[in-house]
Amino acid sequence: MRKVSLLLETPLSESFRGRDFLSLHDYTTEELFHIMRLASSLKAQRNIPLLEGKTLGMIFAKSSTRTRVSFEVGMFQLGGYALFLNQQDIQLGRGETIADTARVLSRYLDGIMIRTFAHEDVEELARYSTIPVINGLTDLLHPCQALADYLTVYERFGKLEGLKLAFIGDGNNVAHSLMFGAAKFGVDFVIACPEGYEPDLGVLAKAREDAEKTGASIDIVREPKEAVHNAQVLYTDVWASMGQEEEQKERQKAFCGYQINQELLDVAAADAIVLHCLPAHRGEEITDEVMEGPHSAIFDEAENRLHVQKAIMALIMKGERK
């Protein structure tokens, strides 16, 4: 408890009060490391009532396992309360504006987590809210997941700077947030993807701008073996994310050959770890052999969602409003 208290009493911690957590791009390298240090301390001592009496509203437009359970359990362990709000069960699902929803919920709650489709909706929610807003996932970004990923990598290697992370698959929201994180932490990031499935150009430009400050590289290649050569971290995600179900067959054809399997793993560094944000479609983007093998850190990574999100909530919800 003492270590947690000391981390929360620093001037750096004070800078988090009332802030939104929408993108890793919005935070400095020092701030992101601070979140991970607090997450590690909270992992060692889970039940600390840092947010006693606080309430988090959780808006879900997309179904969820890890996001819902980790935020709900996290708030309980911090002494607070998490309120599940299915978008179709509140007036937002019947045409109430995001701005009105934000202003009303700000009168009732101490923080909002939202998991939805359009990133612009989260930005609008944050703009009109007077309480912190956490991006639980959008079609553009998945910052909580990426920070949990980098905590997992740090736990395994004791550092981040100078490592190489290879992402195999679609240039999606997870890839985008991993790119932002790589740029902040000095990790060399390379994505292997088919033509037409590259990361968003705007995200790519911002990530490369951040990477200039840390010496990281952000690259796009076509061949998975080229991407994973000497990489310490191999990462993949489903080929069709939520909302892309109609493209499933087309994507299966496009991503044939973009699978993390033992043959691909053999090209990576000898001590490489394999990550996947889950849920996994075993036999498609990753094999059972690799997922259950000695290089897999996938379930450590899933657990770290809980600890990272607790740290984020403790930092931005403990104190004054925006």
- Residue 4 is predicted with a pLDDT of 85
- Residue 318 is predicted with a pLDDT of 87
* Tens of pLDDT, residues 68-89: 999 999 999 999 999 999 988 8
- Name the band, by pLDDT with cuts 50, 70 and 90, for residue 90: confident
- Residue 319 is predicted with a pLDDT of 73
Q: How many Cβ atoms are within 10 Å of 158's Cβ, its own excluded?
A: 7
Report in angstroms the alpha-carbon separations of 269 from 26, 62, 83.
31, 36, 44
Kindly tell me if the per-residue pLDDT of 242 is higher than 70: no
* Tens of pLDDT, residues 206-218: 999 999 999 999 9
Average pLDDT of every residue of the chain: 95
* Tens of pLDDT, residues 303-312: 999 999 999 9
271 is catalytic: no
DSSP line for 265-289? HTTS-TT-EEEE-S---BTTTB-HH
Kindly state the helix (H) or strand (E) to which residue 167 belongs, with its residue range: strand 164-168
Rounded CA-CA distance 43/148 in Å is 12
CB 305 within 8 A of CB 149: no
List the catalytic residue out of 77, 277, 307, 309.
277
pLDDT, average across residues 85-98:
86
- Name the band, by pLDDT with cuts 50, 70 and 90, for residue 5: confident
Q: Which of 86-95, 111-120, 143-152, 188-197 has the lowest mean pLDDT?
A: 86-95
Chain position carrying tokens 């990489």: 231
- Residue 241 is predicted with a pLDDT of 74
Domains of the chain listed by start with CATH number: 2-141+305-317 (3.40.50.1370), 145-302 (3.40.50.1370)
* Tens of pLDDT, residues 43-63: 999 899 999 999 999 999 998
Rounded CA-CA distance 44/38 in Å is 10
Rounded CA-CA distance 5/212 in Å is 34
Rounded CA-CA distance 77/97 in Å is 33
Q: What is the pTM of this model?
A: 0.96
List the catalytic residue out of 77, 87, 145, 309.
145
321 is catalytic: no
- Residue 190 is predicted with a pLDDT of 98
List the catalytic residue out of 20, 110, 139, 237.
237
- Residue 186 is predicted with a pLDDT of 98
Q: Which residues pair with 286 in a beta bridge?
A: 260, 282
- Smallest CA-to-CA distance from 308 within 38, 50, 65 is with 38
145 is catalytic: yes
Q: Would you call the peptide bond into 194 cis, given omega within 30 degrees of 0 as the criterion?
A: no
Kindly tell me if the per-residue pLDDT of 249 is higher than 90: no
* Tens of pLDDT, residues 8-31: 888 899 999 999 999 999 999 999
* Tens of pLDDT, residues 121-175: 999 999 999 999 999 999 999 999 999 999 999 999 999 999 999 999 999 999 9
List the catalytic residue out of 25, 34, 119, 142.
142
127 is catalytic: no
Kindly tell me if the per-residue pLDDT of 245 is higher than 80: no
Kindly tell me if the per-residue pLDDT of 243 is higher than 80: no
Phi, psi of 114 (to 5 degrees): -130, 135
- Residue 54 is predicted with a pLDDT of 97
Q: Among residues of the chain, what percentage have pLDDT more than 90? A: 88
Rounded CA-CA distance 268/309 in Å is 30
115 is catalytic: yes
List the catalytic residue out of 188, 305, 307, 309.
305
Q: Would you call the peptide bond into 49 cis, given omega within 30 degrees of 0 as the criterion?
A: no
Rounded CA-CA distance 113/1 in Å is 26
List the catalytic residue out of 19, 66, 115, 307.
115
